C-alpha cells in the first residue's frame, strides 16, 4: 500500500478528465494533481465503446476543447478520431505522466480536521498482484461520467434463454462478432440503435430496429461546409472559436425553440423525416414520439445515413412490444415474428453516482439522493468535491469545460486566500426538490430516486442553457452560499 498527497485528484482520463488537467494547469499552475483511471487507456467513453459506427452525437466543434482546435474535416466524427484527439491533447499538454492507469476509485473519505480526502483505489496488477492504493488530496474532481462502465441496462426479456442465436450489448461489442449474411435485430431507438442500423446494413442479410416507441431523429451533414470555409479563411484558433460559438448557439437556440413551440418543432422534424424516408414508410408510427421534442435527447444521423439504409431496403424499423424470444427470433405481442440470428440489446446505460465510489464526510457515508447540486458541480454540505456532468441538450464538453474552469478557480482561490476548504451550504435550496437530470428518458427515470437532486433557483439548479452559463461563468461569485473552513454541522447519511 502506498500513500501520496496531491492538491487535486481527478477521477477519469476521458474527455472531461484531460480537459480538467489542462484548465488546472492554466488557472492554478502551482497545484499538483494526479489522474486515476480505472481502464488501461486514455479516452473514457471513446475507449470503452467499440461497436460498429460509434461516433459523436454532437458536432465536434462543440464536443472538442475550446483550447485545442478541431481540424479534422468531419463535424460528426467517429470514435477512433475522437479517441486520438483526446490522446493527442493529453500528450501535447504533458498530462500522460500524471495518469495512473488501472486504478479504480472505490471510496473517498473527507476529514475536516485534516482538510483532505483519503482516496482508496483498487488495482488489478502490482508487485504482489491485485491490491489497494491509498492517496490523499485536498480536492477531488470526478470526471468519470454518470454511467457504469461495468454494466449496461438490459431489461428482463421473456424467453431469452430459448433464443439459439447471439445476444450482445453494444457497450461490450465482441471484436470477433461477424454479422455477415446474418439477420440482425437491434432492440432500442436511441443514439446507439440509429448508429448501428446504417453501419451494419450493408453487411447483414437484413437488419431491423425494434422499438417500443419512436425517437425524434434529425439529419446533419457529416462535413460542415461553413466550418470548412471558416478554417480556410481564418487562423485555426479563431476559426475554431467561431465555429464552436455558432454551433453551440444553434443547438441551444433550437432547444429553446422546441421548449417554447413544441407543436411547430414537431411539424418541422416530421416534415424533414417524411422527405427522407422511402415511399410508403409510416412516419407517424415509427418516427413520431408521444413526448415533445427535447423531452428526451434528439438523435442525430450524419448525412441521413439511417434514411438511406431504409430507402435501399437493407433495413427497416418495427414498432411494437416483445411478447417472448423464440428459438429463431422475437415474437411481438401483435403476433408478428422477427427472424434473427443476432440480437443487439441497445437498451440503454446504467447510471451511477461518482463512478460507483462511496463518499464519506467526517465518518458519515452519504446518500447521494439527499444531496443538492450546487452550480451544477458541487454538493450541499460536501467540501472540496465536484462532479463533472455535461448538458443533456447539447455537447457534453460545453458544460464540462465551464465546470473544469470553475474547479481550477476554486482551487486557486483556496490557495490565494489561505483557506483549506469550502462546502456549499448543507441545507441546500431549503426543501425544493427536482431531479438532477431533466429528461423523461427511461435510463434517467430508472435511477432518479438514487441520484442527487437540484432546486429551482440559483445556485442550486442546473440550467440547460450554455448561453446563460457562459455569462454567469465570467462573474461567478465563489463565496455564494459557500461555508469556508467549517465542518458541516450535519451531513446526510446513507439509508
CATH code of residue 205: 3.50.50.60
Q: Are residues 236 and 173 in the same domain?
A: yes
Mean pLDDT of the chain: 91
Q: Residue 490 pLDDT more than 60?
A: no
**Cβ-contact 223, 73 below 8 angstroms:** yes
**Cβ-contact 247, 101 below 8 angstroms:** no
In a domain, 419, yes or no: yes
Distance CA 439, CA 411 (A): 32
In a domain, 494, yes or no: no
**Cβ-contact 330, 210 below 8 angstroms:** yes
Q: Are residues 365 and 325 in the same domain?
A: no
Other C-beta atoms within 10 Å of 17: how many? Answer: 29
Distance CA 118, CA 3 (A): 9
Q: What is the pLDDT of residue 379?
A: 95
The grid coordinates listed for 158 are 421473456
Its pTM stands at 0.93
In a domain, 493, yes or no: no
Inter-axis angle of helices 79-92 and 15-27, nearest 10: 20
Q: Are residues 209 and 145 in the same domain?
A: no
Distance CA 138, CA 443 (A): 33
Q: Are residues 290 and 395 in the same domain?
A: no
In a domain, 274, yes or no: yes
Q: What is the pLDDT of residue 449?
A: 78
In a domain, 414, yes or no: yes
Q: Residue 493 pLDDT more than 60?
A: no
Q: Are residues 168 and 274 in the same domain?
A: yes
Q: Are residues 173 and 313 in the same domain?
A: yes
From the list 111, 192, 57, the residue with the least C-alpha distance to 360 is 111
Q: Are residues 132 and 221 in the same domain?
A: no
Dump pLDDT digits (tens) for 319-344: 999 999 999 999 999 999 999 999 99
Helix (H, G, I), strand (E, B) or coil at 397: helix
Q: Are residues 170 and 258 in the same domain?
A: yes
Which residue, of 293, 314, 347, is where some domain finishes? 347
Q: What is the pLDDT of residue 495?
A: 43
Q: Are residues 163 and 274 in the same domain?
A: yes
Q: Are residues 270 and 402 in the same domain?
A: no
**Cβ-contact 423, 483 below 8 angstroms:** yes
Q: What are phi and psi of 309, to 5 degrees?
A: -65, -40
Q: What is the pLDDT of residue 350?
A: 87
Task: pLDDT band for 165, please (50, 70, 90 cuts).
Answer: very high
Q: What is the pLDDT of residue 2?
A: 47
Of all residues in the chain, what percent carry a pLDDT higher than 70?
Answer: 95
Other C-beta atoms within 10 Å of 214: how many? Answer: 19
Q: Residue 492 pLDDT more than 70?
A: no
Strand 434-435 versus strand 453-454 pairing type = antiparallel
Which residues on adjacent β-strands are paired with residue 206? 183
Distance CA 466, CA 79 (A): 25
Which residue, of 301, 321, 347, is where some domain finishes? 347
Number of structural domains in the chain: 2
Residue 361, domain extent: 3-149+350-484
In a domain, 490, yes or no: no
Distance CA 62, CA 398 (A): 6
Which residues on adjacent β-strands are paired with residue 351? 147
Dump pLDDT digits (tens) for 74-117: 999 999 999 999 999 999 999 999 999 999 999 999 999 999 99
Question: Any idea which of 26-30, 206-210, 290-294, 449-453 has the lowest mean pLDDT?
Answer: 449-453
Which residue, of 315, 347, 379, is where some domain finishes? 347
Q: Are residues 212 and 278 in the same domain?
A: yes
What's the longest Cα–Cα distance across the chain? 70
Q: Are residues 98 and 247 in the same domain?
A: no
Which residues on adjacent β-strands are paired with residue 385? 140
Amino acid at each position: 500500500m502506498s500513500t501520496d498527497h496531491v492538491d487535486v485528484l481527478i477521477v477519469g482520463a476521458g474527455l472531461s478528465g484531460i480537459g480538467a488537467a489542462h484548465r488546472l494547469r492554466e488557472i492554478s499552475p502551482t497545484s499538483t494533481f494526479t489522474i486515476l483511471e480505472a481502464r488501461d487507456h486514455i479516452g473514457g467513453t471513446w475507449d470503452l465503446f467499440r461497436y460498429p459506427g460509434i461516433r459523436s452525437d454532437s458536432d465536434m466543434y462543440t464536443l472538442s476543447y475550446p483550447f485545442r482546435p478541431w481540424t479534422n474535416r468531419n463535424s460528426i466524427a467517429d470514435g477512433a478520431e475522437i479517441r486520438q484527439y483526446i490522446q493527442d491533447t493529453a500528450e501535447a499538454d504533458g498530462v500522460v505522466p500524471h495518469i495512473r492507469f488501472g486504478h479504480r476509485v472505490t471510496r473517498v473519505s473527507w476529514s475536516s480536521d485534516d482538510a483532505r480526502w483519503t482516496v482508496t483505489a483498487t488495482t488489478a496488477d502490482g508487485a504482489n498482484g491485485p491490491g489497494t492504493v491509498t492517496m490523499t488530496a485536498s480536492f477531488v474532481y470526478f470526471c468519470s461520467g454518470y454511467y457504469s462502465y461495468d454494466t449496461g441496462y438490459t431489461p428482463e426479456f421473456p424467453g431469452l434463454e430459448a433464443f439459439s442465436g447471439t445476444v450482445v450489448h453494444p457497450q461490450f461489442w465482441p471484436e470477433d462478432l461477424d454479422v455477415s449474411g446474418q439477420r440482425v435485430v437491434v432492440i432500442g431507438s436511441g443514439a446507439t440503435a440509429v448508429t448501428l442500423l446504417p453501419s451494419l446494413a450493408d453487411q447483414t442479410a437484413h437488419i431491423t430496429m425494434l422499438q417500443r416507441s419512436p425517437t425524434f431523429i434529425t439529419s446533419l451533414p457529416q462535413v460542415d461546409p461553413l466550418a470548412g470555409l471558416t478554417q480556410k479563411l481564418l487562423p485555426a484558433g479563431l476559426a475554431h472559436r467561431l465555429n464552436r460559438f455558432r454551433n453551440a448557439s444553434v443547438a441551444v437556440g433550437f432547444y429553446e425553440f422546441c421548449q417554447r413551440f413544441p407543436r411547430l418543432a414537431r411539424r418541422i422534424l416530421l416534415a424533414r423525416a417524411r422527405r427522407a424516408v422511402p415511399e410508403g414508410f409510416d412516419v407517424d408510427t415509427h418516427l413520431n414520439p408521444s413526448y415533445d421534442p427535447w423531452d428526451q435527447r434528439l438523435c442525430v444521423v450524419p448525412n441521413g445515413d439511417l434514411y438511406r439504409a431504409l430507402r435501399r431496403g437493407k433495413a427497416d424499423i418495427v414498432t411494437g412490444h416483445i411478447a417472448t424470444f423464440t428459438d429463431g427470433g422475437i415474437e411481438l405481442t401483435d403476433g408478428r415474428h422477427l427472424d434473427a440470428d443476432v440480437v443487439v440489446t441497445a437498451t440503454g446505460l446504467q447510471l451511477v453516482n461518482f463512478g460507483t465510489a462511496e463518499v464519506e464526510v467526517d465518518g458519515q457515508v452519504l446518500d447521494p439522493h439527499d444531496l443538492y447540486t450546487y452550480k451544477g458541480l458541487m454538493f450541499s454540505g460536501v467540501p472540496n468535491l465536484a462532479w463533472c456532468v455535461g448538458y443533456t441538450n447539447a455537447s457534453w464538453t460545453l458544460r464540462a469545460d465551464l465546470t473544469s474552469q470553475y474547479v481550477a478557480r476554486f482551487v486557486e482561490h483556496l490557495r490565494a486566500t489561505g483557506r483549506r476548504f469550502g462546502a456549499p451550504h448543507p441545507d441546500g435550496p431549503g426543501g425544493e426538490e427536482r431531479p438532477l437530470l431533466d429528461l423523461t428518458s427511461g435510463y434517467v427515470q430508472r435511477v432518479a430516486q438514487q441520484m442527487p437532486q437540484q432546486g429551482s433557483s440559483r445556485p442550486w439548479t442546473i440550467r440547460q442553457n450554455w448561453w446563460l452559463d457562459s455569462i454567469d461563468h465570467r462573474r461567478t461569485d465563489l463565496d455564494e452560499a459557500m461555508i469556508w473552513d467549517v465542518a458541516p454541522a450535519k451531513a446526510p447519511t446513507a439509508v
